[in-house]
Amino acid sequence: MFSKEESRQLRQEFWTSFGKSFPRKWLLYDTKIKGVAFKFHFDTKQALIALDLEDVPKAIGMENRINCWEKLVALKGIFKSEFLPEAIYEEEYFLENGKEISRIYLALDQNVSIHNKNTWRDVMEFFNKNMSLFEAFFEEYKDLIKG
């Protein structure tokens, strides 16, 4: 077991190491589409990359999320055949805090843990390879998704 402080330090060390091993600027929140963001996630059970669609301010909120989701579903065949065949589409995905979002993600959950440094290299390579493909898809089709 790790204390909260030890866990925090390991997480910080992982993300610093990832940034040094694969130095590049990731899209993440800079998609230019409100409510659409890429995410990296790594905890004690799994690592995943995701494209999250969240409700944004009430004026456009749920409608924006639905419109983007419909466009991403329409592109699903291309995305899965040319970019990430194992990607999972979930229109209703619930975060740990109970918030509902729509999410497209790819997980690595075979014996990985942010507390186990022996798994870090595999996770970093998984992140780099698959997020690069995810971003390449997004760059190619963002005008259509934004629509």
Structure tokens at 85: 């065949």
Mean pLDDT of 89-99: 94
Sheet (strand 100-108) strand order = 36-42, 47-53, 100-108, 88-94
Tokens 């963001």 locate to: 37
Number of domains in the chain: 1
The model's pLDDT over 26-64, given as tens digits with 9 standing for 90+, comes to: 999 899 988 899 999 999 999 999 999 998 766 555 788
Residue numbers of the domain that contains 20: 4-146
Alpha helix positions (H), the chain: 4-21, 61-74, 76-82, 120-146
